[in-house]
Structure 1
Amino acid sequence: MRIAVAIPCYKVLQHVLGVISAIGPEVKVIYAVDDACPDGSGRFIEEHNSDPRVRVLYNLENRGVGGAVVTAYEAAIVDGMDIVVKIDGDGQMNPALLPLFVRPIIRRQADYTKGNRFYRPESLRGMPSVRLFGNAVLSLMTKFSCGYWSSMDPTNGYTAIHTAVLRQLPLAKLERRYFFETDMLYHLNTIRAVVHDVPMDSVYASEESNLKISKILPEFLHKHISRLIKRYVYLYLLRDFNIGSLYSVLGALLCLIGITFGGFHWLHGMATGLPASSGTVMFAALPLIIGIQFLIAFLHYDVSNVPREALSPELSDED
């Protein structure tokens, strides 16, 4: 397997050379992407780096971490790479873990791997409590919107992907900034790619992260709701209509009937002062109770419907 590493470079002059030097010999090409860095990280790398595997790519305008990674993805596809591992240039991702990320892909057990700092309690010791809470909330939202119920730590940027799967993704449509990793999971689920979490420890260097949980949670909530609706419509109404589709449609319909009927008679009782009969209450409660059970059944189906068979072997054979 021809393995490449993508390093987005934006204000990482203090650590990027150390990151490059720690990348093992199993890697064939290292793409260092200068994302219109005001510090001139691309020039800095070209002047001080001695590793012949390094190829500096330049974005003429700042595209965010997602735009920088997509630039490296496109170069890796053109160069015929098999796997692309994304490592940040700020020293917070240990390059020694790279074999753990590519191993499930090489063994054809996964199409995409990502880091998970929530796997062991000991891994969270270096994570601030606010960031820990924010990541837990984002993980829960991602489970609903992206459908990978066994995955945690969606904002973790230590990832690896098979280029055969990359070719199936709309790279030009991917989110460019902090929502990039989550948007990747959403698009991977639409093509039924297998995602595997790799346990890793949280590391915080001297660089201060620009990711502010208090600011991104409202924005992320809106985007998660949008992806949830799109995923449901595409997977359960357009591509297929299965038992999960039936559960969800009947559940939503019955809940709507129960709420509408019950709400109407509640308002009527408030206006007239007459209490509703037991039959009226039951007729309102029964469809609501059954509808909730149907929605729970749909959720159970969605959880069990996580992709389990890797796409990359079949896609590689087609290539």
Structure 2
Amino acid sequence: MYRNHAVAAVVPARNEAPFVGRVVDAIPAFVDRIYVVDDASEDDTRAAAIDAAAGSPADESAEWRPESRRLDGRVADVGRAGRVAVLSHDERRGAGGAVKTGYLAALDGDADLVATVDGDGQMDPHRLDRFLDPLVDGDADYAKGTRLSRREHATEMPAFRLFGNRLLTLLCRLSTGYWALTDPVNGYTAIRRGALTAIDPASTYEGYGYGTEVLARLHAAGCRIADVPHPSRYGDEDSGIDYRRYVTRVSRLLLATLLWRIGRERLEGRFGADDLVETVSLRWRL
């Protein structure tokens, strides 16, 4: 529990065997449930997640309890130890698909707040309270990380990623309707249960770039978002992104998202009503 709110954390992972265990171990004790979603990894990601679950410092007496079943046609194997559940896709669904599975599992539980922390070790789980505070305080419905609002954080990113991220930020402002947001594809997030229900996660895009569609759905639902600054750690992890395919797919997604958002907001008579949605700057919280 965090400030009287039940918290779940979703950890999407594909081929992150060297990192996912450390991510699980670092998630604060106030998180009530952790959902590690193995997106049909080709390495020992699932085994590493199971080892971390069984040896979780938050529940040293936890014993691994495997189950073989399908969950909503998406998951072949499910297991649980203490506060950690490991859900394994039997076929690759993409980064958004892994987050979707975790979101649906969290909604099946009693979580008031649901966070996402990537399994590649680039995000510091100890900073999770900074993402939950604006939700608990009523300042926002969705909090997302940004590595672009502070110079020292931005310069930690490889140059090609920094250029691409800044360009994508400009395009996503137009597509999503949040004119002040930065770093739209950041995977460090937290969302209130009501906002998560409003975006209908079961029907969201499953590939890379899924966060842009989530933002557009939040805007259409009149939700406020918060940009939370944080550094990232870049080490030996390999990017699984094919950038040629990524640019093509995300370009199509951005256009489709823009058209969908405009149509939805015109239908509801809200297009251009910026007073209903805003991006909250939380630089001071760092």
Q: After superposing the two structures, state which structure 1 stretch, 176-185 or 54-63, moved more.
A: 54-63
More helix by share: 1
Quote how far apart the aligned CAs of 1:9 are: 2.0
Contact persistence 1:6–1:33 (CA under 8 A): yes
Deviation at 1:221, TM superposition (A): 2.1
- 1:140–1:211: structure 2 CA closer, same or farther, 3 Å change rule? same
Whole-Å separation in 2 of the counterparts to 1:54 and 1:199: 27
Greater alpha carbon shift after TM alignment, 40-49 vs 93-102? 40-49
1:228 aligns with 2:258: yes
Are residues 86 and 54 of structure 1, via their aligned partners in 2, closer, same or farther at CA, if it must alter by over 3 Å? Answer: same
User: 1:104 maps to what in 2?
Assistant: 134
Give me the whole-angstrom Cα distance separating, in 1, the residues matched to 2:211 and 2:87.
21
- What does residue 148 of structure 1 align with? 178
Structure 1 unaligned residues grouped into runs of 5+:
245-300, 311-319
Residue pairs, 1:298-317, within 5 angstroms: 304-305=274-275, 307-308=277-278
**CA distance in 2 between partners of 1:74 and 1:101 (Å):** 20
- Which one-letter code corresponds to 2:268 in the other structure? R
Give the number of aligned pairs. 250
Check if 1:22 corresponds to 2:26. yes
Return the letter of the residue paired with 2:194: A
Give the letter aligned to residue 6 of structure 1.
Answer: V
Give, in angstroms, the shift of residue 202 of structure 1.
Answer: 3.0
**Deviation digits for residues 41-74 of structure 1 (CA, Å, limit 9, x no counterpart):** 2233224541232111122221111111111111
Distance 1:2-1:68 versus aligned 2 partners, 3 A rule: same
Instruction: Give the match for residue 220 of structure 2.
Output: 190
Of 178, 197, 200, the match for 1:167? 197
Q: Residue 204 of structure 1 is aligned with which of 216, 234, 238?
A: 234
Question: Is the 1:8–1:89 Cα contact (8 Å) retained in structure 2?
Answer: yes
- Residue 57 of structure 1 corresponds to 87
Q: 2:223 & 2:38 partners in 1: Cα distance?
A: 29
**Distance in 1 of aligned mates of 2:164 and 2:244:** 8
**1:10 equivalent in alignment to 2:21:** no
CA contact (8 A) 2:132 2:143 kept: yes
Instruction: Give CA deviations for 1:135-157 in whole Å, capped at 9, x if unaligned.
Output: 11111110001001110101111
Match of 2:160 among 105, 109, 130: 130
TM-superposition CA deviations, 1:213-256 (whole Å, max 9, x none): 554233322221222122222213x111x7x6xxxxxxxxxxxx
The normalised TM-score by structure 1 is 0.74
% of aligned pairs identical?
34
* Letter of the 2:262 counterpart: Y
Give distance in 1, aligned partners of 2:52 and 2:158: 34
Secondary structure of residue in 1 paired with 2:198:
coil
Which consecutive residues of structure 2, in runs of 5 or more, have no partner in the other structure? 57-81, 281-286
- 8 Å Cα contact 2:176-2:261 kept in structure 1: yes
Q: Residue 148 of structure 1 contacts residue 306 of structure 1 at CA under 8 Å; is this kept in 2?
A: no
Bigger-Rg structure (1/2): 1
2:242 corresponds to 1:239: no
CA shift in 2, pair 1:48/1:26, >3 Å: closer
Equivalent residue of 1:27, what SS? coil
Structure with the larger strand share: 2
How far off its partner does 1:121 sit?
0.7
Q: For residues 146-186 of structure 1, what are the alpha-carbon distances to aligned partners after superposition, in whole Å with 9 as ceiling and x for unaligned?
A: 00111010111111111221112222221111121111101
* Higher mean C-alpha deviation, range 35-44 or range 12-21: 35-44
Q: Partners of 2:95 and 2:254 in 1: how far apart? A: 19
Paired AA for residue 123 in structure 1: H
Whole-angstrom distance in 2 between the partners of 1:137 and 1:48: 37
Distance of 1:38 and 1:174 partners within structure 2: 25
Q: Is the 8 A contact 1:131 1:213 kept in 2?
A: no
